[in-house]
Structure 1
Amino acid sequence: MDKPINRAVHEGYTEAVNILVEGRENYDGIDKLRTQQGRAIAVLAVDYLLGECSHKVLLGVPLKG
Protein backbone atom coordinates (compact mmCIF):
# COMPACT_ATOMS: atom_id res chain seq x y z
CA MET A 1 0.00 0.00 0.00
CA ASP A 2 3.04 2.26 0.07
CA LYS A 3 2.82 2.96 -3.66
CA PRO A 4 1.24 6.29 -4.60
CA ILE A 5 -1.23 4.45 -6.84
CA ASN A 6 -2.67 2.78 -3.71
CA ARG A 7 -3.00 5.98 -1.67
CA ALA A 8 -6.81 5.88 -1.86
CA VAL A 9 -6.90 2.29 -0.60
CA HIS A 10 -4.56 3.18 2.25
CA GLU A 11 -6.72 6.17 3.17
CA GLY A 12 -9.87 4.04 3.17
CA TYR A 13 -8.47 1.19 5.23
CA THR A 14 -6.90 3.59 7.72
CA GLU A 15 -10.33 5.10 8.32
CA ALA A 16 -11.91 1.63 8.31
CA VAL A 17 -9.63 0.56 11.16
CA ASN A 18 -10.65 3.66 13.12
CA ILE A 19 -14.32 2.91 12.47
CA LEU A 20 -13.98 -0.70 13.58
CA VAL A 21 -11.97 0.15 16.71
CA GLU A 22 -14.48 2.83 17.71
CA GLY A 23 -17.46 0.65 16.82
CA ARG A 24 -18.85 3.60 14.86
CA GLU A 25 -22.18 2.61 13.31
CA ASN A 26 -22.78 5.82 11.36
CA TYR A 27 -21.18 7.57 8.43
CA ASP A 28 -20.06 10.70 10.31
CA GLY A 29 -16.72 12.01 9.12
CA ILE A 30 -16.43 9.80 6.06
CA ASP A 31 -17.19 12.73 3.78
CA LYS A 32 -13.94 14.35 4.93
CA LEU A 33 -11.81 11.71 3.23
CA ARG A 34 -10.07 12.95 0.10
CA THR A 35 -10.75 10.11 -2.33
CA GLN A 36 -13.90 8.44 -3.56
CA GLN A 37 -12.36 5.00 -3.13
CA GLY A 38 -11.28 5.86 0.41
CA ARG A 39 -14.82 6.93 1.27
CA ALA A 40 -16.22 3.75 -0.27
CA ILE A 41 -13.95 1.55 1.85
CA ALA A 42 -14.89 3.47 4.99
CA VAL A 43 -18.59 3.04 4.16
CA LEU A 44 -17.98 -0.70 3.83
CA ALA A 45 -16.56 -0.73 7.37
CA VAL A 46 -19.74 0.86 8.73
CA ASP A 47 -21.86 -1.51 6.66
CA TYR A 48 -19.87 -4.43 8.10
CA LEU A 49 -20.61 -3.29 11.65
CA LEU A 50 -24.29 -2.98 10.76
CA GLY A 51 -24.30 -6.51 9.32
CA GLU A 52 -24.94 -5.29 5.78
CA CYS A 53 -21.78 -6.71 4.19
CA SER A 54 -19.42 -9.60 4.87
CA HIS A 55 -15.80 -9.43 5.93
CA LYS A 56 -14.88 -10.76 2.48
CA VAL A 57 -16.43 -7.70 0.85
CA LEU A 58 -14.74 -5.35 3.32
CA LEU A 59 -11.33 -6.93 2.79
CA GLY A 60 -11.72 -7.59 -0.93
CA VAL A 61 -10.58 -4.24 -2.32
CA PRO A 62 -7.62 -5.04 -4.60
CA LEU A 63 -4.33 -3.18 -4.62
CA LYS A 64 -2.95 -1.79 -7.86
CA GLY A 65 0.49 -2.36 -9.32
Structure 2
Amino acid sequence: MPQTFNENKGRYGYGRITAEVRKKGIIINHKTVLKLMHESNLYSSVSGSSIFWRLAQFFLDNRIPS
Protein backbone atom coordinates (compact mmCIF):
# COMPACT_ATOMS: atom_id res chain seq x y z
CA MET A 1 0.00 0.00 0.00
CA PRO A 2 2.73 2.57 0.73
CA GLN A 3 4.23 1.71 -2.65
CA THR A 4 0.97 2.57 -4.44
CA PHE A 5 0.70 5.77 -2.40
CA ASN A 6 4.26 6.84 -3.24
CA GLU A 7 3.97 5.91 -6.93
CA ASN A 8 1.17 8.46 -7.19
CA LYS A 9 3.07 11.18 -5.30
CA GLY A 10 0.70 11.16 -2.34
CA ARG A 11 -2.30 12.19 -4.40
CA TYR A 12 -4.31 9.02 -3.81
CA GLY A 13 -6.68 8.83 -0.86
CA TYR A 14 -8.01 5.70 0.76
CA GLY A 15 -10.71 5.19 -1.89
CA ARG A 16 -8.34 5.15 -4.84
CA ILE A 17 -5.78 3.10 -2.90
CA THR A 18 -8.53 0.56 -2.15
CA ALA A 19 -9.39 0.35 -5.84
CA GLU A 20 -5.74 -0.14 -6.82
CA VAL A 21 -5.23 -2.87 -4.20
CA ARG A 22 -8.39 -4.65 -5.38
CA LYS A 23 -7.13 -4.54 -8.98
CA LYS A 24 -4.12 -6.52 -7.76
CA GLY A 25 -6.49 -9.23 -6.51
CA ILE A 26 -6.45 -8.46 -2.79
CA ILE A 27 -9.89 -8.25 -1.18
CA ILE A 28 -9.85 -5.45 1.39
CA ASN A 29 -12.38 -3.08 2.93
CA HIS A 30 -11.96 0.68 2.48
CA LYS A 31 -12.11 1.17 6.25
CA THR A 32 -9.16 -1.17 6.69
CA VAL A 33 -7.18 0.76 4.08
CA LEU A 34 -8.00 4.02 5.87
CA LYS A 35 -6.88 2.57 9.21
CA LEU A 36 -3.63 1.24 7.74
CA MET A 37 -2.92 4.57 6.06
CA HIS A 38 -3.37 6.41 9.37
CA GLU A 39 -1.11 3.94 11.16
CA SER A 40 1.56 4.47 8.47
CA ASN A 41 1.11 8.28 8.54
CA LEU A 42 0.07 8.33 4.87
CA TYR A 43 -2.15 11.32 4.19
CA SER A 44 -3.29 12.53 0.78
CA SER A 45 -1.88 15.90 -0.24
CA VAL A 46 -5.15 16.80 -2.02
CA SER A 47 -8.39 17.14 -0.12
CA GLY A 48 -11.62 16.02 -1.73
CA SER A 49 -13.35 19.31 -0.99
CA SER A 50 -10.71 21.34 -2.84
CA ILE A 51 -11.22 19.20 -5.94
CA PHE A 52 -14.98 19.72 -5.70
CA TRP A 53 -14.65 23.49 -5.45
CA ARG A 54 -12.18 23.66 -8.34
CA LEU A 55 -14.60 21.70 -10.53
CA ALA A 56 -17.52 23.86 -9.44
CA GLN A 57 -15.55 27.01 -10.23
CA PHE A 58 -14.61 25.59 -13.65
CA PHE A 59 -18.25 24.98 -14.53
CA LEU A 60 -19.31 28.39 -13.28
CA ASP A 61 -16.58 30.10 -15.31
CA ASN A 62 -17.45 28.17 -18.48
CA ARG A 63 -21.22 28.32 -18.50
CA ILE A 64 -23.04 29.70 -21.52
CA PRO A 65 -24.39 33.20 -20.88
CA SER A 66 -28.14 33.50 -21.25
Fold conserved between structures, TM > 0.5: no
- Report which of the two structures shows the higher radius of gyration computed on alpha carbons: 2
TM-score (norm 1): 0.29
Structure possessing the higher relative contact order (Cα contacts under 8 Å, 6 or more residues apart): 1
